[in-house]
Structure 1
C-alpha cells in the first residue's frame, strides 16, 4: 500500500492548513504519515548539508525517502511561501528523496485572500520543479476554508472538504502506483 507523507507549511497552532493535514490523516490513517518537525528544522546552511546531518534534517529526509507521495498544505505569507516551509524545502535540495516523488497540495486560502494563495503555489511549483518532484495536477486542490469549519478537535467535518482531501490523496496514490 502506498504511503503519502503529509506536511503542513504552517507553524500556527490553529492553522486551517494543519487542519487539512490532520483531517487527511484521520480519513486515511493506513496510507498516510504526518511530518511534524517543521518548526524544529534549523535554518538552512549549505555548509551543514553534509554527513552527519542535523538529526531533525535526517528525520525529514528519512520521512521523504519512506514516502510514495507527498501532500502539502501551506499558507501564503506576503505573497510567497512561509519562511519555515521554504526552509524545509531548501533542506530537500541536497538530498535524493524528491526527484520523481509525486506531490500535490491543498490550497485553503479563503475567498477574501487577495491572490487566493497563488504566490505561494507558484513558488512551490518552482521549488518542486527544481528538486525534480513530480507535481500531480489531479492531486492539487483549491478548497477555501474558514477557521469556523475546523472543529474543536482540529478536524474538518464538512463532507465536501473531506471529499476534496480524499480526491487529492487518491490521485497521489494512483500516480505513485503507476510509477
Structure 2
C-alpha cells in the first residue's frame, strides 16, 4: 500500500525570476524528503489587489486557482525576502485572497511556516514575523520551529550545507505536524 505524499505549497514573496528566495524554494522542492512534495505556487503576479466587491461577483481565475491549490495542500510555506522592513505586497495580497471567504478560507487550519534569506544582518526576520502574524490571523496554524530567517551576507545560502539543513528542517516540521486534539 502506497501512502499519499504530504503536499506543501510554497508561496514565494519575490516575483523576480532569479531571486534568491525563488531559488531557495526550488532547492526545497528539489530536495524534499521522501514522502513530501513541495509545489511552488505560480500566478501570484496575476492576482489583482484584493477587492471584496470583485470577489463577491466573480472571483478572478488566478485567485480561484490559488485557493484551490492551497485548499488541496497539507501545509503552506512562505519563502520570502523582506522589502522595507516587512513582507512583500505580493505575499500580503495572496494572504488576503486565501483568507476568504470567511469561515471557509483555503488557509483555515493549514500548518504554516516561513523561511527566507536577505542580504541584511537579520535575514528577513521582520518580514517573517509579519508573515507569521498575518497567516495566523488569516486562520493558518503556525508550526513551532517552522520559521527560519537567514542572512545572506558573506555566505552562499544555496551552497552551505548547514543553512540548507536548517531550511529543510522547516519543511520536515511542516510535513510532520500533527494538530493537537481540542
TM-score (norm 1): 0.85
Higher relative contact order by CA 8 Å / sep ≥ 6: 1 or 2? 1
Number of aligned pairs? 172
The 5-angstrom pairing of residues 33-112 of structure 1 reads 33-50=39-56, 52-95=58-101, 96-110=105-119, 112=120
What's 1:7 paired with?
Answer: 11
More strand by share: 2
Asked whether the 8 Å contact 1:16–1:147 carries over to 2, the reply is no
1:68 offset after TM fit, Å? 0.3
- Give the C-alpha shift of residue 146 in structure 1: 5.2
1:163 equivalent in alignment to 2:168: no
The structure in which a higher percent of residues are helix is 1
Deviation at 1:140, TM superposition (A): 1.0
Q: Deviations over 1:6-58 (max 9, x none)?
A: 11101122211111101011102852111021111111111112364111001
Segments of structure 2 that go 5 or more residues without pairing to the other structure are none
Q: After superposition, give the CA deviation of every residue in 1:134-159 in whole Å (9 maximum; x if it has no partner).
A: 01121111232359737xxxxx2432
Q: Deviations over 1:108-131 (max 9, x none)?
A: 123x34x54233123212211211
Distance 1:146 1:178, change over 3 A: farther
For 1:108, what is the secondary structure of its paired residue? strand
Q: State the match for 1:153 in structure 2.
A: none
Q: Distance in 2 between matches of 1:86 and 1:76?
A: 12
Which of 125, 142, 145 is 1:135 aligned to?
142
Alpha-carbon shift at residue 177 of structure 1 (Å): 7.5
Point out where structure 1 has 5 or more consecutive residues left out of the alignment: 151-155
- Cα 1:50/1:176, change in 2 over 3 Å: farther
**Off by >3 Å, runs of 4+ in structure 1:** 176-179
